[in-house]
Amino acid sequence: MDYDFYSKSLVNWYKEHRRDLPWRRSSDPYIIWISEIILQQTRVAQGLDYFNRFIARFPDVRALATASEDEVLRYWQGLGYYSRARNLLEAARTICRDFGGIFPRTYNEVRSLKGIGDYTAAAIVSFAYDLPYPVLDGNVYRVLARLFALSTPIDSTRGKKEFAELAGLLLDKEHPGLHNQAIMELGALQCVPRQPDCSLCPLMDRCMAYAAGEVSVYPVKQQKLKTRPRYFHYLHIVCGNDTYIQRREGKDIWQGLYQLPLIETDAPTDFAKLQQTDAFRRLLPDCGRMEISVVLRDIKHVLSHQTLYASFYYIKVEREGKFLSEYLRIPLSCLENYAFPRLILRYFQATANC
C-alpha cells in the first residue's frame, strides 16, 4: 500500500489548517509535556487559559519540582482529573532527582515518568526530538478506524495492537513530529466524532468508511462505561466570619483538594433524614443555636465512572462544637487560597452574591 500518500496529504492539509497554539511554537519537551497532560481530558478552548497560567507560574521543570502540591492543585483547580496534577509534580521531582533537571531524551525514559503513558511519551519525543514513535489518541483511533474501516474494537487488546501497527506503518519516519500532529489535528478538526463533512477531507478518496457510507459506525468500542451514583451532602458551616474545610485524603476522587464538611449517603436523602444520621449529629452536637438553609439540592455532576448528586446546606452556628475542631477553620475571605473541585466552586459561584 502507498502509505506515503496518506502522510503527505495529512501534512499538506495540516500546514494549511492547523490552529496556532502556544505549545506548537515550542520544541521544549517540558512545554509539550504540560500541554499534553492538560489536553488529555480537556478541550483546547478550556485548556488554553490553564496552560498559560501554569507555564507563567511554573516555566520549567525546576520551578514545578520545587512547588508544593497545594499550589500545583490550585493552578489545576476546575480542570478535573486531579491525579494529572499530582503526577506532574512527582514526575518533575523525578526529573530533578534522577536526570539532573534535564528532561529525558529517550522514549523509555520519558515513558517511565509518573503519569506518562504510551501516547504521551510518543507525543513528547516525536514533537520535541522528532523520534519515530506514532501517537495513538482518541482522534487518531477515529481517523484510522474510518480510513481503513477497521472494526476491531479500539478498547480491546487486539484492537490496540492492530491500530498501533497501522499507525507505525503510516508514520513518516523522516518527519514523525509533523506527521503525528497532522493526523491528530485531522481528527480534532475534520474527522470529528459526529457528522464530519467528508467533502472537505484530504483523504476522502481513500477513506473506506466513507466509500461504504458507514462513517458513523467507526470507531467500534466493546465496553460501555458503567457509572455509579453517589450522594453527597456538603455542609457550609459558618461561625462568625469563619468557615470549615478539610483536605481530601485517601484513594478517592479529588485527592489533595479541599472540600466543605461532607456527609455521603448510600441513597437519595432529604434534609430531614440527613439530620437524623449519626454523621450529622456527630458533627454538630454542641454548636449552640443554628440557622440552617438548604441552598442547592441534587446538583448532578458527572465524572468518568461516577455520577454525583450533591446538595449544599448553609449552617450558621453560634459556637464551634468539639468535632468541628477536626476541620480547618479559615476566614470566609480566604476560601480562594485553597483548591476546590469544580462542583464546590459551582456552589461558591452560585452563592457569591447571596
Catalytic residues: 36
Site for ligand SF4 contains 35 (CB under 6 A): no
User: 145 phi and psi, to 5 degrees?
Assistant: -60, -40
Can you say how many angstroms the Cα of residue 225 is from the centroid of all Cα atoms in its chain? 17
From 14-22, 190-198, 234-242, 244-252, span contacting ligand SF4 (CB under 6 A) = 190-198
The region of 132-140, 197-205, 291-299, 311-319 touching ligand SF4 under the rule CB under 6 A is: 197-205
Cell numbers of 167, please? 499507525
Question: Closest distance between ligand SF4 and the C-beta of residue 214, in Å?
Answer: 9
Q: Do residues 254 and 341 make contact, with C-beta atoms less than 8 angstroms apart?
A: yes
Contact 204, 210 (CB under 8 A): yes
- State the Cα angle at 32 between 31 and 33, rounded to 5°: 90
Write the binding mask 219 to 238 for ligand SF4: x where contact by CB under 6 A, - elsewhere: --------------------
Cα 292 from Cα 310, distance rounded (Å) = 17
Q: Does 190 bind ligand SF4 (CB under 6 A)?
A: yes
Q: Does 126 bind ligand SF4 (CB under 6 A)?
A: no
37 or 135: whose CB is closer to ligand SF4?
Answer: 135
CB of 221 to ligand SF4, least distance (A): 17
Minimum separation from the CB atom of position 39 to ligand SF4 (A): 21
* Binding residue for ligand SF4, selected from 207, 253, 284, 317, defined by CB under 6 A: 207
Give Cα 245 to chain centroid, integer Å. 24
Distance of CA 212 to the CA centre of its chain: 35
- Residue 125 CB: number of other CB atoms within 10 A? 25
> What is the distance between the alpha carbons of residues 304 and 291, in angstroms, rounded to a whole number?
36
Number of residues that bind ligand SF4 (CB under 6 A): 14
Q: Which is nearer to ligand SF4, 5 or 52 (CB)?
A: 5
Q: For the CB of residue 202, give the shortest distance to ligand SF4 in the complex, in Å.
A: 8
In the set 198, 262, 303, 330, which binds ligand SF4 (CB under 6 A)? Answer: 198
Cα angle 244-345-75, degrees, rounded to a multiple of 5: 95
Binding mask 127-146 for ligand SF4 (x = CB under 6 A): ----------------x--x
Bridge partners, 301 (sequence order): 308
Q: Please, what is the Cα angle at 183 between 177 and 189, to 5 degrees?
A: 125
| Span of 26-34, 48-56, 200-208, 299-307 interacting with ligand SF4 by CB under 6 A | 200-208
Q: Which is nearer to ligand SF4, 135 or 207 (CB)?
A: 207
d(CA 295, CA 280): 17
Residue 215 makes contact with ligand SF4 by CB under 6 A: yes
Q: Which of 201, 237, 245, 324 binds ligand SF4 (CB under 6 A)?
A: 201
Angle at CA of residue 252, ends 223 and 247, nearest 5°: 150
Among 54, 58, 75, 210, binds ligand SF4 (CB under 6 A): 210
Give me the 142-171 binding string for ligand SF4, x by CB under 6 A, dash otherwise: -x--xx------------------------
* Cell numbers given for 258: 479541599
Helical residues (DSSP H) of the chain, grouped into ranges: 3-17, 29-39, 44-57, 61-65, 69-76, 83-98, 107-111, 118-129, 138-147, 157-170, 176-185, 208-211, 271-276, 278-283, 342-350
Considering only the stretches 152-160, 201-209, 286-294, 320-328, report the one whose residues sit in contact with ligand SF4 under the rule CB under 6 A.
Answer: 201-209
Cα–Cα distance, 171 to 217 (Å, whole number): 25
For ligand SF4, the binding residue among 67, 79, 191, 287 (CB under 6 A) is 191
Owner of C-alpha cell 501554569: 54
Q: Using CB under 6 A, list all residues that contact ligand SF4.
A: 143, 146-147, 190-191, 196, 198, 201, 203-204, 207, 209-210, 215
